[in-house]
Amino acid sequence: MPRVLISADMEGVSGIVHPVETNPERYDYERGRALMTADVNAVIAGVLEAEPSADVVVADAHGPFRNLLPEDLDHRVRLIRGRPRPLGMLAGVGDGVDAVLFVGYHARAGAGPAVLAHTISDAVLAVRLDGREVGEIGLNAALAGHHGVPVVLLSGDEAACAEVRELIPGTSTVAVKRALGQAAAEVLHPAVARDRLRKGAAAAIAGRAEVSPWTISGPVALEVDLYSPTTVDTATLIPGVTRAPGARTVRFTGRDVVEAYGVVQLLVQLAQVKPA
């Protein structure tokens, strides 16, 4: 019985183009939650169509990690929600998972044109692992690879799909929109998008043996460019974190990807703390 983890973000969900649809404090967020839940259900349907006995876990991986509507989610799966939690967006990946699917993902900060492109938070300008710039796609793919798990599917806009194919050529992709800017896109009708998501997920799970995990061997050199110099000042209080030349970059060498990933999570939390 294969174990499958679905990591679900929101910015790459079909139909979504603007922060009012992804921010809990904005007026259109409830509609965004419904769109996100429907896309995830389509992917679940595809996974279970290909592998009816699969053990499927869904990790809510956007913002507060409390976006998917539990009562509307396919009853055949288990849901991980809430934060903070170990392994962040990929919570559950260390539990004997055989394949990971990224649903509703977006391109990294600075990519464009790309819908709602960023890396975790607007406080982060760029992240590099061993000198290679990555966003949430790369960070989470590397974390999955550390656990020996391949990323077999990604859905999002065309820019996000291109980003994962550059990292992992064998990963299947489903593009549900084409970016016209940071908050504008040509989108598929949700019913069309969900049909493609179901079919794409089924094909990806059926062909999962053909995709290799994307691995980065330790030690891992991490560099993070931060928006606020004040956050840089605070970050250097973390053992092992040093300031790179310039006002905005910090460095850290992790024993492995898990340790580097944890430092990125901590830096984002520090950036949300207002200076005294």
Q: Which residues are catalytic?
A: 118
Sheet holding 220-226, edge to edge: 132-134, 124-129, 220-226, 249-254, 242-243
Of residues 166, 137, 136, the one with CA closest to residue 151: 137
Residue in the block written with tokens 């509609």: 31
Residue in the block written with tokens 């429907």: 38
Of residues 209, 201, 210, the one with CA closest to residue 103: 201
- Residue 166 burial by Cβ neighbours in a 10 Å radius (0-12, 13-18, 19+): exposed
- Residue 14 burial by Cβ neighbours in a 10 Å radius (0-12, 13-18, 19+): buried
Q: How many whole angstroms separate alpha carbon 5 and alpha carbon 55?
A: 9
Q: Are 155 and 255 in contact (CB under 8 A)?
A: no
Q: How many whole angstroms separate alpha carbon 37 and alpha carbon 204?
A: 20
Q: How many whole angstroms separate alpha carbon 121 and alpha carbon 115?
A: 14
Contacts of 82 (CB under 8 A, 6+ apart): 60, 64, 65, 66
